[in-house]
């Protein structure tokens, strides 16, 4: 829910499947407070004037060094709204299904310190760190006829 006066940040991301459709791309980082590994799908802020689908592909390339293609039709697979009451900030995330095209020589975002991991779709529920990502993957598999 959006509240009047809230700061709103718009983000986009993609659930990227390899050519076999058996593995999904994740990025891995360390939680700053706990030091625990966080495994999630690549996503990031939408730049001014940028389409969500373009932002999703750009973020995958920046965070994972992978060029992807949003699967046609460019149907939105998920829409997530997070609200942080302590700072009155709402984050809206647009999610898409994409397919792997190729790796790129573009450097990963150094400040994010991501590593890249392809994980088996069938094992993803036990590996992904967030329940929302697990639900998103299930939706992608069902709607996109993956596996």
Domains and CATH numbers, the chain: 7-143 (3.90.79.10)
Q: In the structure, what pLDDT confidence band is assigned to residue 81 with cuts at 50, 70 and 90?
A: low
> Which carries the bigger pLDDT value, residue 123 or residue 76?
123
Hey, which residues does 17 pair with through a beta bridge?
24, 99
Cis preceding-peptide flag for 73 (omega within 30 of 0):
yes
95-133 pLDDT, tens digit each: 999 999 999 876 555 555 778 999 999 999 999 999 999
pLDDT digits 0-9 by tens, 1-45: 555 556 788 899 999 999 999 999 999 988 888 889 999 999 999
Alpha helix stretches (DSSP H) within 9-91 = 52-64
CA distances from residue 6 to 24, 45, 89 in whole angstroms, order as listed: 34, 17, 6
């Amino acid at each position: 829910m959006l509240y009047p006066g809230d700061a709103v940040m718009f983000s986009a991301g993609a659930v990227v499947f390899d050519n076999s459709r058996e593995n999904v791309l994740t990025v891995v980082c360390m939680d700053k407070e706990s030091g625990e590994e966080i495994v999630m799908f690549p996503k990031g802020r939408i730049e001014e004037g940028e389409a969500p689908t373009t932002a999703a592909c750009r973020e995958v390339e920046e965070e994972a060094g992978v060029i992807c293609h949003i699967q046609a039709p460019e149907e939105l697979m998920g829409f997530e709204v997070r609200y942080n009451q302590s700072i009155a900030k709402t984050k809206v995330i647009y999610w898409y299904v994409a397919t792997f095209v190729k790796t790129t020589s573009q450097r990963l975002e150094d400040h994010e310190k991501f590593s890249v991991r392809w994980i088996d779709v069938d094992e993803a529920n036990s590996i992904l760190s967030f329940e929302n990502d697990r639900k998103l993957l299930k939706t992608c598999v069902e709607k996109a006829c993956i596996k």
